[in-house]
Amino acid sequence: MKTVYVTRRERFNAAHKLWNHDWSDEKNHEVFGKCANPNWHGHNYEIHVTIKGEPAPDTGYCMDLKVLSKILKEHVVEPLDHKNLNLDVPWMKGKMASTEILIIEIWNQIFEPIKKVGCTLHGIRLYETENNYADYFGEE
Amino acid sequence: MKTVYVTRRERFNAAHKLWNHDWSDEKNHEVFGKCANPNWHGHNYEIHVTIKGEPAPDTGYCMDLKVLSKILKEHVVEPLDHKNLNLDVPWMKGKMASTEILIIEIWNQIFEPIKKVGCTLHGIRLYETENNYADYFGEE
Amino acid sequence: MKTVYVTRRERFNAAHKLWNHDWSDEKNHEVFGKCANPNWHGHNYEIHVTIKGEPAPDTGYCMDLKVLSKILKEHVVEPLDHKNLNLDVPWMKGKMASTEILIIEIWNQIFEPIKKVGCTLHGIRLYETENNYADYFGEE
Amino acid sequence: MKTVYVTRRERFNAAHKLWNHDWSDEKNHEVFGKCANPNWHGHNYEIHVTIKGEPAPDTGYCMDLKVLSKILKEHVVEPLDHKNLNLDVPWMKGKMASTEILIIEIWNQIFEPIKKVGCTLHGIRLYETENNYADYFGEE
Amino acid sequence: MKTVYVTRRERFNAAHKLWNHDWSDEKNHEVFGKCANPNWHGHNYEIHVTIKGEPAPDTGYCMDLKVLSKILKEHVVEPLDHKNLNLDVPWMKGKMASTEILIIEIWNQIFEPIKKVGCTLHGIRLYETENNYADYFGEE
Amino acid sequence: MKTVYVTRRERFNAAHKLWNHDWSDEKNHEVFGKCANPNWHGHNYEIHVTIKGEPAPDTGYCMDLKVLSKILKEHVVEPLDHKNLNLDVPWMKGKMASTEILIIEIWNQIFEPIKKVGCTLHGIRLYETENNYADYFGEE
């Protein structure tokens, strides 16, 4: 099988903080350092979403990236861009707003919509800064 | 005169919103769109600070960029990184947290410390995203 | 005056070739080399458009970059993206499709629309590749 | 085994369009949108080619990247750079000029030349734009 | 298992040359070309270190990247930055200073310190230039 | 006059150290810190050279960037790439190998060759790292 992996990059700018409500303020500041700033801070997040499949003979596409971009705009950019990850996003409520948790929850948001159009989500890369990023390939 | 311009890049991650307190909520949302999100959003800001001068014969330096970096860490990165530009920064209080106002206020913060070590601030570039940035060269 | 320069980046992908119709095929290939390929080649162009002004006290904006982006989408991206610069663009007809001529013609397309909303175009940077780019600041 | 993967990046600028000759014009425009522009458009393609192997004790190399670069210049850059992917490239004739098909055909062009010098092609990444790219690791 | 891969980028600037002491000068220059320049040359190296694990429920972290950064600064940046890879680095003595050997030796330096804090090193990417880089995932 | 500025980027990898032979070892280490490492360190330098002129009517070029690239390869890349800036470069002998001095000396090397083909050098930008760079526009 000639499996090709195609990737679409999208971006969103969001505020967040790292804070565990079961902990004292002191412990939060000790563990999360400046990421626990009570008044939030933020990032230009960059997400790369990879689809796995064989190119269709009539289009040469594994997946039409215009369709993938539309799914990502609806399920990732619209709910996260210019938002507060801790306060404004229903599916992040009560969860740690770390890159690791965010990438898993984004996977959960886009897996079905991508499957519904007949495609297979392979992996996600999520950049928080130019120095820190995460990859996720679903449950192993 | 052999004037050389040397530049140091630093980065900081901050939350902000665009909001004019003299306006109604409606007008703020109308003018600033998603940038007016009440719960904030944020960016990976990137700042490039340029010094103008002649290289000293004994060092070959216009300015030791280790010294410039130290000044920027004290006067820009420390007060802004992992902070809320509207709430946490004394010298941004009561001011619009736009890239334009921020770059002018950063100029005001670093002009004297750079002058005090005998150097001349020439210009600042401030990236809010990969698509939006500002340049400032002082009052003209 | 506290003049700030704000810049918006946009992108478009286009085909072109360098060809002077007053010259023989031989001379075109000699002068333009592989850029004269009869069946065209293409680029991911990247344009940076810079506006000059004083931030307005009520918005903190020199220019609302959403407005600038809209002007650029209408006057630059829409007519050039996924087009052939030599064949598909009315205002490039009969002109050399070099980066230099293209940047001047883009200036001519956006100067008035930007002026009409009360702003001042300062400069344009146009990247043809990561190694080759041009800047234009209007007639001097 | 201490397997190291080494990668060489090369670039080429090409024109193409997405067009299925078995379809009506209407269907082509409907499916491929602006990518079906009859007069072509183009891209700055960026290719990353990865070799897999153990470093040789006497050179510390898995593969001399000067040799890999030479193979890529002969088999990828020379035939594709400043060309029309649909018209000028013998081994793309009659095939869809999508990133997916192009990356498979590039694999077919370079697999044997790399094998002939005793090395093993592991994977290819091909960027069409900063937002769209593909990876291919051969038939699975 | 919800395995997430998190990556930290660090940078160091070093001098090196490629030279096999068992060979004649002629053979060294023939094999390594300009990389064998007797008076050295150098690079801005960029290293990406990837950790594999499940996010902890109380922090949302696979690994605190501040801890990873500290390990990398101690075991990679401190010994390599502004150094000569052939002369100044005890654990590179007598080894070829190729990207391939360097990435294996860096793995050996950081595997245990990362294990000691309860985390699992997954892979390393090491950029020598924007065109040449290596990946290593340990012995296979 | 429709003045356009066109820029060509080139790259070279070199070793250097900052060291003033009129000073004691102690003073050199005190002033230059890790940049004074006796066994050298190195960088991937990136140079952007800008030409100023009016596009010629028959070519649309201010300057053929193939010609500029050839001049830069002969006068900058060839003498500096994979070299030691302090030891291997005749026109850097006895001079501080700082970015500031290097950019001035590169200006001196390329000004005449560019003038000889009828073009005007406007400016040079020289990146030492992604965080440190210099600009030079000739004697003012």
**DSSP labels, chain B:** ---EEEEEEEEEEEEE----TTS-HHHHHHHHGGGG-TT-EEEEEEEEEEEEEPPPTTT--SS-HHHHHHHHIIIIIHHHTTEETTTT-GGGTTS--SHHHHHHHHHHHHHHHHHHTT-EEEEEEEESSSSEEEEE-S--
User: How close is the nearest chain A Cα to the Cα of E51, in Å?
Assistant: 9
- Average of per-residue pLDDT across B2-16: 98
Binning pLDDT at 50, 70 and 90, where does residue B31 land?
Answer: very high
- Nearest in space to C111 (alpha carbons), one of C54, C50, C44: C50
E58 to chain A: which residues are within 8 Å by CB? 20, 22-23
What is the C-alpha to C-alpha distance for residues D60 and A62, in angstroms, rounded to an integer? 38
- Average of per-residue pLDDT across A112-127: 98
pLDDT at residue B73, as a whole number:
98
Contact D100/A at CB under 8 A? yes
- Nearest in space to A37 (alpha carbons), one of B40, F8, F23: B40
Nearest to B98 among C2, C60, C66 (CB): C60
Q: Is the pLDDT of residue C140 over 90?
A: no
What is the ipTM score, two decimals?
Answer: 0.97
pLDDT at residue B25, as a whole number:
98
> What is the domain-level CATH number for residue C76?
3.30.479.10
Q: Please give the residue range of the domain that contains residue D126.
A: 4-136
**Best mutation target, C65, C70, C122, C125, to test chain B (most B CBs within 10 A):** C65
What is the C-alpha to C-alpha distance for residues F53 and F60, in angstroms, rounded to an integer? 11
| Secondary element (H or E) of residue D53 | strand D41-53
Decide if C92 contacts C134 (C-beta within 8 A): no
pLDDT at residue D50, as a whole number:
98
Q: Is C in contact with D (3 or more beta carbon pairs below 8 Å)?
A: yes
pLDDT at residue F10, as a whole number:
98
As given in the structure block, the two tokens for residue E128 are 């020598």
Averaged confidence pLDDT in chain F: 98
Averaged confidence pLDDT in chain A: 98
pLDDT at residue F8, as a whole number:
98
Q: Which residues of B are catalytic?
A: 35, 82, 128
Angle between helices F99-116 and F65-72 (to 10 degrees): 130
What is the C-alpha to C-alpha distance for residues F82 and E34, in angstroms, rounded to an integer? 6
Helix (H, G, I), strand (E, B) or coil at A114: helix
Whether this prediction's pTM lies above 0.95 is answered by: yes
Phi, psi (deg, nearest 5) at residue D67: -70, -45
Q: What is the pLDDT of residues A29-60, one digit of tens each?
A: 999 999 999 999 999 999 999 999 999 999 99
What is the C-alpha to C-alpha distance for residues A7 and A48, in angstroms, rounded to an integer? 6
pLDDT at residue D12, as a whole number:
98
CB contact under 8 Å between A15 and B13, yes or no, is: no
Binning pLDDT at 50, 70 and 90, where does residue F140 land?
Answer: confident
CB contact under 8 Å between E23 and D58, yes or no, is: yes
Q: Which residues of F55-78 are buried (b: 16+ CB within 10 A; e: fewer)?
A: beeebbbbbbbebbbebbeebbbe
Q: Tell me the residue type at F127.
A: Y
Nearest to A98 among E2, E5, E61 (CB): E61
Helix (H, G, I), strand (E, B) or coil at C94: coil
pLDDT at residue D140, as a whole number:
84
- Count of structural domains, chain F: 1
- Average of per-residue pLDDT across B93-110: 98
C-beta atoms surrounding D70 within 10 Å = 13
Q: What is the pLDDT of residues E31-66, one digit of tens each?
A: 999 999 999 999 999 999 999 999 999 999 999 999
Nearest chain A residue to B128 by CA distance is A44
Phi, psi (deg, nearest 5) at residue A5: -105, 120
Helix (H, G, I), strand (E, B) or coil at A112: helix
- Average of per-residue pLDDT across E90-107: 98
Contact E97/D at CB under 8 A? yes
Q: Tell me the residue type at D24.
A: S
pLDDT at residue B42, as a whole number:
98
Is A82 one of the catalytic residues? yes
> Of F35, F46, F48, F105, which one is the catalytic site residue?
F35
Half-sphere exposure of E45 (CA within 13 A, CB side): 32
Angle between helices E99-116 and E65-72 (to 10 degrees): 130
> Of F30, F41, F54, F82, which one is the catalytic site residue?
F82
Task: Name the residue with tokens 């002491």.
Answer: E21
**CA-derived radius of gyration, chain B:** 17
pLDDT at residue E140, as a whole number:
84
State what percent of residues in chain C have pLDDT above 70.
100
Q: Which residues of E are catalytic?
A: 35, 82, 128
Strand partners, C35: none
Helix (H, G, I), strand (E, B) or coil at A84: strand
CB contact under 8 Å between D135 and A3, yes or no, is: no
Decide if E51 contacts E9 (C-beta within 8 A): no
Please, which residues have CB within 8 angstroms of residue D20's CB and are 6 or more apart in sequence? A58, A59, D27, D28, D31, D96
C-beta atoms surrounding A66 within 10 Å = 15
State what percent of residues in chain F have pLDDT above 90.
99
Contact C14/D at CB under 8 A? yes
User: How close is the nearest chain B Cα to the Cα of F123, in Å?
Assistant: 11
CB contact under 8 Å between F83 and E41, yes or no, is: yes
Q: Is the pLDDT of residue E121 over 90?
A: yes
Q: Is the pLDDT of residue B140 over 90?
A: no
Task: Name the residue with tokens 């900052």.
Answer: F18
Strand partners, D52: D5, D120
